[in-house]
Copies of this chain bind each other. A is one copy, B any other.
């Protein structure tokens, strides 16, 4: 199994990426890497890690996509970047999945250009895993920011792609899908959500998932469903609000335990418990947004990911490749396209 890794563009530079690869290589003997970036620098970094010996092919790329670069510029002038090279390895079939810590907007724009959208997909989506009360420990939410708009057909495709992801990434045979909305009856008024509710209901039988209907923000970490479907604007706000809240509580917790000598003593005794908690909510453990709806999966790691975060993104990429996810999602979307078109046409006829 070969993964294509963009070494550049993350906040911690290529050293953190190579450290993450070494961590993954130690745990999993089945992974090989194609690594993209300035060959000389990468060669030195890789040579220092004996776990990586004979498992890394380096492809030289002199240019780097920065966090400030505009996606449109990268698409036009980014041919020499490590990000472009990393995507092209998947395009050429040399690697199964691409992993990058770089600029999200640029990565999405380049992915759409180099890998192309799956037939029948209008808008690709970014899916993330979210700690939850469900037995699998995580829920899937999409879209979290590939596109700020989504009409009812896009939302249906998100449901289909999210169900496929939950089935292959989390082993849920019949995932439960929820459509994000606000609470009161009176507010269930956005027309595209009503239309999407109908389309997803109709698709549920054939597509082998359960549709639980509208869900609320509180259900994102909840147990009512496994997959939360929403537009990229709302999903992005929800993701960052959740991360911000978790980080705030973490800081408050630390402050609470630093308050007095006694509480500092209690903290020492409570250390194992606190570590157990941290492990469950540590965002590095579930690092990686997956771009769905393209010819080839792309895993976007957090820009600030350290070795542990990069390794988690690599693990996710490996799992997706090992499950044969790409072929399954393509088949699922293709078979659903005609279904969706039928439904949409019928829907229009009814109104």
Contacts from A to B (Cβ < 8 Å): 70-72, 103-105, 109, 131-133, 145, 148, 180, 182-187, 189-190, 216-222, 230, 232-234, 236-249, 251-253, 256-257, 259-260, 262-263, 265-267, 269-270, 272-274, 276-277, 280-281
Partner of A234, one of B237, B260, B273: B237
Q: Which residues of B contact A186 (CB under 8 A)?
A: 70-72, 105, 109
Partner of A276, one of B184, B256, B281: B256
How far is the CB of A109 from the nearest CB of chain B, in Å?
8
The A contact surface, by secondary structure, is: helix
Q: Which residues of B contact A263 (CB under 8 A)?
A: 270, 272-273, 276
Partner of A277, one of B71, B190, B253, B280: B253
C-alpha spacing A309/B205, complex, angstroms: 44
Is the beta-carbon distance between B71 and A236 smaller than 8 angstroms? no
Is the beta-carbon distance between A273 and B257 smaller than 8 angstroms? yes
Q: Given A186-B105, A277-B252, are A218 and B246 neighbors across the interface (CB < 8 Å)?
A: no
How far is the CB of A83 from the nearest CB of chain B, in Å?
15
Q: Which residues of B contact A253 (CB under 8 A)?
A: 253, 277
Q: Given A185-B105, A273-B259, A276-B259, are A242 and B240 neighbors across the interface (CB < 8 Å)?
A: no
Partner of A216, one of B132, B180, B240, B267: B240
Q: Which residue of B lies closest to A104 (CB)?
A: B184
Is the beta-carbon distance between B267 and A239 smaller than 8 angstroms? no
Show 21 A/B contacts (Cβ-Cβ < 8 Å), sorted by A: A70-B186, A72-B186, A104-B184, A132-B248, A145-B187, A180-B237, A182-B233, A216-B236, A217-B236, A217-B238, A217-B244, A245-B246, A246-B249, A249-B281, A252-B281, A259-B273, A263-B272, A263-B276, A266-B266, A266-B269, A266-B273
